Chain A
Amino acid sequence: MRTERQGLNSLSQADLCRFTTLIASLAMASGRWASPLWVAAFSLVPIALVGWAWSVALSRSAPRADFVFNSGAEVSSLDPAVANGIPEGRVIRALYEGLYTRDPMNGAAVPALAANTQRSNDGLTYTFKVRKEALWSNGDHVTAEDFRWNFERLLAPETASPFASELWCIRGGRELTTGRDAQGEPVAAGAVPLGVTTPDAETLVVELVAPTPHFLELLASYQTSPVHRASLENARRRWPDDWSTRWTKPGYLVCNGPFVLTSRRLDDRMRLSKNERYWDADRVALRTIDVVVIEDATTAFNLYRAGEIDWLDGTIPPSLVDQLLAGDDFDPQPYLGTYFYRVNTTKPPLDDPRVRRALYAAINRVAICDKFLKAGQKPAYTLVPWGRIGTYNSPPGKKEDLDGARREFEAAGFGPNGKPFGTLQILYSSSDQNRAIAEMVADGWHEYLGLDVALENQEWKSYIDRQANLQYDVSRSSWICDYPDVTNFLAVFTSDSENNRTGWKNPEYDALVEQARHLGDLGQRDQLLRQAEAILLDQLPILPIYSYVSQNMVDPRLAGFGSNALNDQNPKFWYWMDDADLERSRRKMNARERKVLSHGPKEGLYSPRAQIERKAGGRTRR
């Protein structure tokens, strides 16, 4: 043994070198089998593997786009009728354009392909003139018929569009989707024709069932963007088995927005290029946009810091917020979403409004917003975020009130000398932020009401399922509106709403919301909705916690990027400022803010129109 040891330890450096070079081949082919063939084969395998990996990497290289943003999650579909989500909306805004769109600066619905809109006095008929110069990316004209066919397609049951029910305000819409009328009676196909007609190639007439003040908001939603009929039907003929996955592929997709789809790799990157046939191409500055999918927040943040991503929107970890708020590339703005807890009102003792009021009054919202979230989120005492949308103002909700909470709790028969309450469970979907908030709420309820609170986290879909089946006591929830209208929030808690999920039913509330929905007079409508929200805030099937803020991190050099309450951005308007413009825009900024290094092009990137205007000596129109 001893000799061996010595032998082992006296290995020379040269021996080591020989080891390393021979290892790969000798590993498997040593001994009698060490024929040259085997040695060659086994050393070729790793070389071939590395070479192949190299070629895979090489095939993926692409020059950097003018603008890169992170969509956070892969887009479920590029078909506007099927898509339903925030990442989808961003890409569809770039690829398609509907009758209306949103002004990125204030979120208002503004005409896009509608050159002219007339509303009848009773608010039941809308007449649109479609822009004559609008083209599809293959050169076809966008016609009124395109829009008629698309309304029909969106409503048809075989399209299975999640947005279909929003368009049931169109006459015949509900019948087309469900085969039943508003009373639930079966209707023969075609018995109620769809109220969308085209008297001529550029005129579109839409008839509504009842006045719908938010109708233009619906048309500004990306889901109502039109798709190209001929290419879709052609795909159906060409690939009968899987046409629905074929017609949205790059090289085939025909669209009518400011950009076209050049390439797409799932879960990775989408390359959009400027659509030269777009009617307003003159005002589009960016030539290429990359939409990347990076789900890991830290990775996305690192890439943003490295200048490889120019815009990311997502939840910024609260621990980073303090530090980021100082920079001029992070400016959280009010966002139309509310974070709240649903209460299972079918389960005693939570069926007692006094108990719910006690829970409501003992949540320390200010601490949650100021000490934990810190990005400017505001304590919410109403369902409607920030207490207002458009002309609507929420009734003032009650603030935290610890004594009041105890009084309500004791009135319901609980408290120090009352009945035992049992354990209250807070159900939430797994995330650090949800857990932290649930802990803060639970602490408050334990401290002020003496409740035993258990936290239960569930993976997303299981949590959704539990909530839908009312298998919870109190459950984390949120609501972000699709279009800025109060009914979009208040209709959630009507008795027959599939999103109610609290078991709360209040006929008076239902009647007020239903009445308001079909009221042309906005003042009266707001009045009714205020009454409805007051009932909700008195009965409290939900416990509002905070109103959201948007959390965009965007290169300070980018212009045309708005801060609207829907965070609905339109790449059509984006452009890079040059150093002079950047300096000018920074003069307006808050003195406390720190100038962040911009990775955008120093010379800027302006649309053809803006370039001409700049040459003419004027400053760029902002």
Chain B
Amino acid sequence: MTHFLARRALGLALTVWIVVTLAFLMMRLVPGGPFSAERRLPAAVAANVDARYHLDWPLWRQYVQYLGPLNVDTHGLFGDRERVFGGVLAGDLGPSFRHRDYTVNQILAESLPVSLALGSLALVWSIALGTVIGVVGAARRGSKLDLWLRMGSSLGIALPSFVIAGLLVLVFALTLGWLPVAGNTSFAHFVLPSLALGAPVAAYIARLVRTGLIEALSQDYIRTAIAKGLPFSTVVRRHALRGGLLPAISYLGPAAAGVLTGSLVIERIFAIPGTGSHFVASALDRDYTLALGVTIVYSVLIYSLNALVDLAYTRLDPRIALEEL
């Protein structure tokens, strides 16, 4: 276990470093800069702005300064005092270029809880509903109910979440008036976005659970269990479910990462100030530091969630040992 965790930690550090370096270079290769605008500044003024954000430095020096942990700036970007440490390795993601009143750390501290809350809600309901639908579908394979559930989940997978979001708003907010159109000032505001965000995940899980369970139910040991005279529900619960859930569990890692990080469209439609909206906006604004900051957070999140899923795997399937992962 310790060995596994140590290896994953090392892998995480290496992954994040590669991601940061690549993202840093890619951001700079894209045409345009954080301060390019339709109304361009006079050269002298533009030079002052660049100097303030060290954009006049050679790229390697900007990179060293950004990564840290040593501060290569003589007086720190914001301050007048000399600072020894700075940069990502010192926990400082730098100032935002677009949001001049905020550092990237401040922006993430404000927006991450919102995104995580939204993502958690979506995840909880989609796992619960997806599993139930999957199990019911598998248990009643071929019935009319199964047909309807399968059609529903196909729709959930096929429809992009912004279409689902639009439909939900139209029905529940504009027509029925049960829930607010958009915003984020009460729990009710989070219901529609989490439904829209979780719908594709629920549909996918339903499908995986159904297939996995049907596969498990056709195994010889199930036949034996039924022959022994066990009630069918006990057979499913005690014998089939474990094997049947495996495909769904392996999907949970990417699903959780996708839901927690992939809420950009939903956040925009429902005016929810989460991290997802910054992910796209910062790239478009050429807000180098914010784009990198969000990328770092996302890569850590995705990597850790996948490690968690691997852990869960060994719990469910004794044939898989941590050492092999």
Contacts and interface: CB of A to CB of B under 8 A. Distances in A.
B28 interface: no
A31 B242 contact: yes
B24 interface: no
A302 B181 contact: yes
A43 B180 CA distance: 30
Contacts of B186: 57-58, 60-61
A299 B270 contact: yes
Interface in A238-272: 239-245, 248-249, 265-268
A219 B92 CA distance: 38
A616 interface: no
B190 interface: yes
B232 interface: yes
B215 interface: no
A95 interface: no
B238 interface: yes
A232 B102 CA distance: 16
A22 B41 contact: no
Interface in A423-468: 459-462, 464-466, 468
A237 to B, nearest CB: 9
B264 to A, nearest CB: 11
Contacts of A22: 237
B49 interface: yes
Interface stretch (B3-11, B15-23, B107-115, B295-303): B107-115
A421 interface: no
Contact of B316 (A28, A52, A293): A28
A46 interface: yes
Given A53-B121, A57-B190, A242 B79 contact: yes
Interface in A154-170: 157-162, 164-165
Contacts of B222: 4
A122 interface: no
Given A49-B121, A162-B49, A268 B182 contact: no
Contacts of B185: 57, 60-62
Given A8-B141, A61-B186, A299-B182, A78 B101 contact: yes
B78 A5 contact: no
Nearest to A64: B185
A7 B226 contact: yes
Contact of B76 (A60, A61, A240): A240
B169 to A, nearest CB: 7
Contact of B39 (A1, A28, A466, A499): A499
B1 interface: no
Contact of B271 (A82, A244, A245, A296): A296
B273 A30 contact: no
- Size class of the B contact interface (CB-based, 8 Å): 35 or more
B271 A292 contact: yes
B95 interface: yes
Contacts, number: 257
Interface in B209-228: 217-218, 222-223, 226
Contact of A180 (B44, B218, B277): B44
Contacts of B173: 302, 306
B124 to A, nearest CB: 4
A302 B169 contact: yes
A50 B100 contact: no
B251 to A, nearest CB: 13
Contacts of A234: none
B61 interface: no
B278 interface: yes
Contacts of B43: 498
Nearest to B110: A266
B233 A241 contact: no
A74 B290 CA distance: 15
B74 interface: no
Nearest to A237: B80
Interface string B69-109: 00000001011110100000000000100111111001100
A279 B45 CA distance: 35
A303 B269 CA distance: 11
Nearest to B97: A76
15 contacts: A10-B232, A11-B233, A19-B135, A27-B241, A28-B315, A30-B242, A31-B238, A57-B186, A236-B79, A242-B78, A244-B95, A268-B271, A308-B181, A461-B36, A498-B40
Interface of B: 30-33, 36-46, 48-49, 51-52, 76, 78-81, 83, 95, 98-103, 106-107, 110-111, 113-114, 117-118, 120-121, 123-124, 127-128, 131-132, 135-136, 138-143, 169, 173-174, 180-187, 189-190, 217-218, 222-223, 226, 232-233, 236-238, 241-242, 245, 249, 268-271, 273, 277-278, 284-286, 312, 315-316
Interface of A: 1, 3-5, 7-11, 15-16, 18-20, 22-24, 26-31, 33, 46, 49-50, 52-54, 56-58, 60-62, 74, 76-79, 82, 84, 157-162, 164-165, 177-178, 180, 236, 239-245, 248-249, 265-268, 292-296, 298-300, 302-303, 306, 308, 459-462, 464-466, 468, 477-478, 498-499, 501
Given A266-B102, A295-B271, 20 more contacts: A4-B222, A5-B142, A19-B135, A28-B316, A53-B121, A57-B184, A82-B100, A157-B48, A158-B52, A160-B49, A165-B44, A177-B44, A177-B48, A239-B78, A241-B78, A245-B103, A245-B106, A294-B271, A296-B269, A498-B42
